[in-house]
Amino acid sequence: MSRLVVVSNRVPAPAKGKVHAGGLAVALQAALNARGGLWMGWSGVSSGAREPGAMTIRQEGPITYALTDLSRKDIDEYYAGFANSTLWPLCHYRLDITDYARKDMAGYFRVNRFFARQLGPQLAADDVVWIHDYHLIPLAAELRRMGVKNRIGFFLHIPFPPPDVFFALPVYATILEGLADYDVVGFQTRHDADNFAACIEREGIGSLKERDTIETRGGGRVKAGVFPIGIDTRGFEKMAADAVDNPAVRKIARSLRDREVVVGVDRLDYSKGIPQRMQAFERFLRDNPAYKGRATLLQVTPKSRSDVPHYLDMQREVAELAGRVNGELATLDWTPIRYVNSSINHSILAGLYRLAKVGLVTPMRDGMNLVAKEYIAAQDPADPGVLVLSRFAGAARELQSAILVNPYDTEAVSQAIAQALSLPLAARIERHAAMLRHLRRHDISNWCDAFLDALATTAA
């Protein structure tokens, strides 16, 4: 079997036995644990003003980690700049906060070239290369320029916007051509794949030959398929069932007394709709005063990308909002919103999901959202909680038995919380069972196999 080589911007520090929070890292860890292989990416460390030295190679079980540092300038221009101030908001349909600077764009292409130069010498002729996410779109083109002939696939974890949004990016054509350099380009949903195909056709970079196959101007072929990412469903079910006895989870449960828990878990990111969710919860309490003192929103929100200005603004906005709602509604023995700004161990998180009556997952736009899937897997099938899910999360295409909401409609989300809390047991069981069945069939190894099978059947 060929060796699998995975490349992603974020690579968790190798630590045996530890499960890492964050969708992409957890998913890739599971995929690589099952197959073994090389995982290359940024160490998360800055080399300051100096150019980064040679990669650090470490073997941990079946995974060889190849980690590179990045200079301060690289981090500013490539990571905080073009990736997270330009591509991220653009792909989440936020043209209003999409910043663009040529210096950042140049830094993005420079770091991709640097990744290619580091990775190239590590590759054997029959390695299968799988590149992840918006940070590394031009990497295949850079590797091809160096003469690399291996099969190379790309998976986009975030949404792909429609042409009228994407074409606002000054270098949209180069980015599209970069995607057309892969053998397989994978998207989370049909909607994303269609948006990509529409961009390619409108720009004349290629044309759709048959469903999911694009023929490029130069005569090459790209498979542009739909591969909705999953979770380790059985593993998470077990983790959540075991977590019931975890002393930390018991302590949290005691502190919540017998209140109805509504849980939200997100990185602190404007795409996640956290302020809108808090407003909807406030609205729910005002419209359903019987729940005052009886329901608590537990919002777990680790800080994220704090060196990007819009994220700093968000930190302030959310903290102020939680403070205002609590100031206006709290009583001496009840806090309506428990807002926690740190990250939480994965198994404690699984326990929190299980004790929550409602999982409130209401991003304004999201590639997939694995919290929604984890919430379902964590429930007790005999007495499950209810998922309230944004229509604009990729997960909504699969989890149709959730209560689907438009997160821009505060009253609708407030009503959905009330509906979720009053749903009879039989209806809860039926909705949950349908979604769990789907998640068991479409789990992380299924995602990985489907993508790698598609890549294996392309002509190298």
Examine residue 440 and tell whether it contacts ligand F6P (CB under 6 A). no
Contacts of 96 (CB under 8 A, 6+ apart): none
Examine residue 45 and tell whether it contacts ligand F6P (CB under 6 A). no
Q: What six digits make up the tokens of 408?
A: 């821009």
Nearer CB in complex with ligand F6P: 10/73: 10
**Identified binder of ligand F6P from the candidate list 75, 141, 158, 358, rule CB under 6 A:** 158
Nearer CB in complex with ligand F6P: 29/414: 29
Q: What is the DSSP string of 288-340?
A: -GGGTTTEEEEEE-----TTSHHHHHHHHHHHHHHHHHHHHH-BTTB-SEEEE
455 vs 459: CA distance, rounded Å? 9
Examine residue 133 and tell whether it contacts ligand F6P (CB under 6 A). yes
| Residue 331 Cβ vs ligand F6P, minimum distance, rounded to whole Å | 37
Four-residue CA torsion sign, 320, 420, 361, 348: positive
Nearer CB in complex with ligand F6P: 78/196: 78
Reading phi first (left if > 0) and then psi (alpha if -120 to 50, else beta), residue 7 is in beta
| Residue 136 Cβ vs ligand F6P, minimum distance, rounded to whole Å | 10
CB under 8 Å, gap of 24 or more: what pairs does 68-71 form?
68/40, 68/41, 68/42, 68/43, 68/114, 68/115, 68/118, 69/42, 69/43, 69/45, 70/42, 70/45, 70/46, 70/111, 71/46, 71/47
- Among 127, 133, 366, 443, the one annotated catalytic: 366
- Give 393's DSSP letter: B
Examine residue 33 and tell whether it contacts ligand F6P (CB under 6 A). no
CA separation, residue 221 to residues 4, 148, 212, 460 (Å): 22, 17, 10, 11
346 labelled catalytic: no
Examine residue 304 and tell whether it contacts ligand F6P (CB under 6 A). yes
Nearer CB in complex with ligand F6P: 9/276: 9
Examine residue 22 and tell whether it contacts ligand F6P (CB under 6 A). yes
182 vs 364: CA distance, rounded Å? 29
Nearer CB in complex with ligand F6P: 229/452: 229
**Identified binder of ligand F6P from the candidate list 92, 151, 157, 357, rule CB under 6 A:** 157
| Residue 42 Cβ vs ligand F6P, minimum distance, rounded to whole Å | 9
333 labelled catalytic: no
Nearer CB in complex with ligand F6P: 2/343: 343
- Among 157, 346, 438, 442, the one annotated catalytic: 157
| Residue 12 Cβ vs ligand F6P, minimum distance, rounded to whole Å | 9
Site for ligand F6P in 310-369 (CB under 6 A): none
Task: Just list the catalytic residues.
Answer: 157, 366
Q: What residue ranges bind ligand F6P (CB under 6 A)?
A: 10, 22-25, 133, 157-158, 304-305
